[in-house]
C-alpha cells in the first residue's frame, strides 16, 4: 500500500504552523521589554540629591565600584514590596545601592524613607523622569547592575524579591566582583 503523497502536504503544513505558533506564543510575560541598554554606559545625568537639594549628583558619583541602581517612587506599590529586601541587601551584602526617585514629590519620598528605612547611599531626584527615559524605564521598580566602569550589565524589571536576588541579580554581581577583583 503506497501513501498518497498529496496527503503529506496538509500534514507538513500543520507541523510547520505548530512550530511557528509555538515560537510566537511562548509563555512569557508580554509586558517584558528586553533592554537596549545592556553593555552601554550608564547615561549622563545631573540631578538633585534628595536629602541635600543644594548638591547636584552626576554619573561620577555612582561610578567606581560594582553597584545597584534602583528606580523607585512612593506611588509604586511594588517598591514597597521590594523595600525590605533592598534594606537587607544594603545591610548584609556590602554593595552600594543608589536610588532614582522617579516622578515623585521629594517631601513625600523623604517621609517614605523615614517610615520604611533608607537603604540608599544616594538618591537622585528625577522629578520629570528624564533619567528614567534615558534608562528606558517603563515602570517602577527597575533595578540596574553596574560594573566598576559604570557600564550597565543587568536590568531587572519588577520587585527585587529574595528569590530574584538569589537567582538573578546576585550571580551577576558576584561575577562582576570576581572579574574586578574586589569581591
- Interface positions with other proteins (CB under 8 A): 30-31, 33-37, 103, 128-130, 132-139
SS3 assignment, position 161? coil
175-182: long-range pairs with CB below 8 Å, 24+? 176/66, 176/145, 176/147, 176/148, 177/66, 179/147, 180/66, 180/147, 180/148, 182/65, 182/66, 182/148
For residue 172, count other CB atoms closer than 10 A to its CB. 16
Q: Which of 112, 101, 110 is nearest to 45 (CA)?
A: 101
Specify which residues 71 forms β-bridges with.
100, 142
Q: In the complex, what is the shortest distance from the CB of residue 12 to other proteins, in angstroms, rounded to a whole number?
A: 12
Please identify, using beta-carbon distances, which residue of 83 and 155 lies nearer to other proteins.
155
Of 20 and 111, which has the nearer Cβ to other proteins? 20
When the beta carbons of 31 and 163 are compared against other proteins, the nearer one is 31
Q: Which is nearer to other proteins, 32 or 92 (CB)?
A: 32
CB of 147 to other proteins, least distance (A): 20
Nearest approach, Cβ of 82 to other proteins (angstroms)?
A: 19
Shortest CB 73 distance to other proteins, Å? 9
Amino acid at each position: 500500500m503506497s501513501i498518497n503523497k498529496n496527503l503529506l502536504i496538509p500534514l507538513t503544513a500543520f507541523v510547520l504552523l505548530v512550530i511557528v505558533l509555538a515560537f510566537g506564543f511562548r509563555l512569557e510575560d508580554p509586558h517584558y521589554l528586553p533592554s537596549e541598554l545592556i553593555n552601554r554606559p550608564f547615561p549622563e545625568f545631573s540631578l538633585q540629591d534628595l536629602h541635600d537639594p543644594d548638591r547636584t549628583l552626576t554619573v561620577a558619583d555612582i561610578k567606581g565600584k560594582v553597584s545597584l541602581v534602583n528606580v523607585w517612587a512612593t506611588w509604586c506599590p511594588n517598591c514597597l514590596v521590594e523595600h525590605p529586601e533592598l534594606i537587607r541587601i544594603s545591610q548584609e551584602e556590602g554593595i552600594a545601592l543608589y536610588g532614582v526617585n522617579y516622578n515623585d514629590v521629594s517631601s513625600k519620598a523623604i517621609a517614605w524613607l523615614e517610615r520604611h528605612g533608607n537603604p540608599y547611599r544616594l538618591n537622585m531626584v528625577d522629578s520629570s523622569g528624564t533619567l528614567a527615559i534615558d534608562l528606558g524605564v517603563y515602570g517602577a521598580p527597575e533595578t540596574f547592575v553596574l560594573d566598576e566602569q559604570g557600564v550597565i550589565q543587568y536590568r531587572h524589571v519588577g520587585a527585587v524579591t529574595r528569590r530574584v536576588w538569589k537567582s538573578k541579580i546576585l550571580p551577576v554581581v558576584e561575577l562582576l566582583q570576581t572579574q574586578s577583583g574586589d569581591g
